[in-house]
Amino acid sequence: MLRECSQHGYFRGEACPVCGQPGRFLLNDRELDHLGRVLTGILRHFPDRYGLTIDPHGWVSLPEIVRAVARRHPSYHWLRVPHLVAIAETDAKGRYEVREDRVRATYGHTLEVDLDLPTENIPDHLYFPVTSDEATIVLEVGLRPSDRRKVHLSKTADDARAAGKVRTPEPIILEIDARRARSEGLVIMQAGKTVYLVDQVPAELLRRAEPAPPEADAGRPAT
């Protein structure tokens, strides 16, 4: 459910997380899911299907998206720019950026775009999930993009593990020496709340992350 609080802005859920008020209804769960997929598809993969053009930095006009979606999906004749802004601003992963009357995806592109994203305040270590079959190869040859234009790194090992579970139940987490990577000239960009982009990562900057330490009270006798 997507709603708008008059005091605290857009939110997902039944009540504003700040004041607890129900706010104004914008989209139900089905509409939110479908329109989110449409928006992601337009901005990352297939703007041409909707007769849209992405500029060199990934931006598309919000009013043009609204008109294009209504043309292709007449049931969304009521769609307006604030609906798309609300989807973008409440996305938990920070997959979108809104600037004035334009929006873009911050990562995940299969299209060629020049993302002028922040390159400062990058963590010293970043993480990447692989399958058990991939681990040995990646540690030998490094990371390269596969189906995307950039390698997508995660802010924490837990973030990487969550991303990796889309592909395998027990992902192996690799740690990237991001501090050394930057000192050697690799450009790392912050793309979302937990996602960072880089062209490639040489093998010498990778290692298998240490397993999480046991709970402090693990193994203690019951009292």
Binning pLDDT at 50, 70 and 90, where does residue 115 land? Answer: confident
pLDDT grade, residue 216 (50/70/90)? Answer: very low
Is the model's pLDDT at 215 over the cut of 80? no
Provide the token pair at 172: 């192996």
- In angstroms, the CA 170 to CA 166 distance is 10
Average pLDDT over residues 5-18: 95
The length of the chain is 223
2-105 folds as Arc Repressor Mutant, subunit A (1.10.10)
pLDDT at 167: 87
Please give the mean pLDDT across all residues of the chain: 91
State residue 59's pLDDT score: 96
State the first-to-last Cα distance of the chain, in angstroms, to the nearest integer.
Answer: 45
Q: Can you read off the two tokens belonging to residue 200?
A: 């490639």
Model confidence pLDDT, tens digit, residues 44-54:
999 999 999 99
State the pLDDT at residue 222. Answer: 41
What is the mean predicted confidence (pLDDT) over 152-176? 93
Residue 123: per-residue pLDDT? 96
- Mind listing the pLDDT tens digit for each residue in 89-104? 999 888 999 999 999 9
pLDDT at 126: 97
User: What confidence score (pLDDT) does residue 211 get?
Assistant: 62
Instruction: Convert the pLDDT of each residue in 185-205 to its tens digit.
Output: 999 999 988 999 999 999 999
Spatial strand order of the sheet with 206-208 comes to 189-190, 195-198, 151-154, 125-130, 172-177, 206-208
Question: How does pLDDT run across 43-83, given as a tens digit for each residue?
Answer: 999 999 999 999 999 999 999 999 999 999 999 999 999 99
- 38 pLDDT above the threshold of 60: yes
| Spatial CA neighbour of 117 closest among 200, 199, 197, 201 | 197
Residue 66: phi, psi to the nearest 5? -55, -50
Contact criterion met (CB below 8 Å) for 56 and 113: yes
Bridge partners, residue 175, by sequence = 127, 207
Instruction: Fill in the DSSP letter of residue 114.
Output: -
Query: What pLDDT is stored for residue 86 in this prediction?
Result: 97
- pLDDT attached to residue 217: 43
* Residue 128, helix vs strand vs coil: strand
What is the number of other CB atoms lying within 10 angstroms of the CB of residue 61?
17
Compute and round to an integer the Cα radius of gyration of the chain.
20
Helix (H, G, I), strand (E, B) or coil at 35: helix
Pick the CATH number of 125-208 from 3.30.830.10, 3.40.50.300, 3.20.170.30, 3.40.50.460: 3.20.170.30
Q: Would you list the domain boundaries of the chain?
A: 2-105, 125-208
- Of 130 and 210, the structure prediction assigns the larger pLDDT to 130
